[in-house]
Amino acid sequence: MTSQEVFKDFTLPEGNGAKVCVGGGAGFIGSHIAKRLKANGYKVIVVDWKKNEFMEDDEFCDEFIMGDLRKLEVAVKSCEGCAQVYNLAADMGGMGFIVSNESVLSFNNTAISMNMLEAARRNKVKDFFYSSSACVYNEAKQEDPQNPGLIESDAWPARPQDMYGL
């Protein structure tokens, strides 16, 4: 199979005003996904506990909700009327911060993920996108210079890099 057969061009469908929620949409990746969705005609609701430092709200979303997704009521309200939910929200920082705050980050990120899933379920959201990290892959495979790239089956047997990979 050639790379042309594996990697096909992606065209984002027109949104036609469909409402979507981007959890963590003020972050680098989230804001760029939100901006692309908005440009394609989606009504984009971003919920985050911080503002984007590099873009004004109207550049990447139609509505910005300053909220803490560790609280179920914030997640439920943010997903109201949405056809799709993109969850990129996470409590994170540099590796030094992550290593010294593993239990707090594990608790916070589990709460965020569970609340967004439950909010989507309660609001009968059709599609849910969950992003993750390369840190979920077996750490030995990440460090192997002979491994040209990670694929889904490399995530097992599990040996994630720190708690961040869970």
Candidates 42, 86, 137, 164; catalytic one? 164
Please say whether the beta carbons of 125 and 85 come within 8 A. yes
Burial 11-23 (b: 16+ CB within 10 A, else e): eeeebeebbbbbb
Q: Is residue 42 flagged as an active site residue? A: no
**∠ CA(108), CA(58), CA(88), 5° rounding?**
25
Q: At which residue do the structure tokens 């919920």 appear?
A: 47
- Mark out the alpha helices in 14-101 (DSSP H runs): 28-39, 57-60, 72-78, 95-100
Peptide bond into 160 cis (omega under 30): no
Beta bridge partners of 43: 19
Sheet containing strand 43-48, edge to edge, reads 63-66, 43-48, 19-23, 84-87, 127-130
Residues carrying an active site annotation? 164
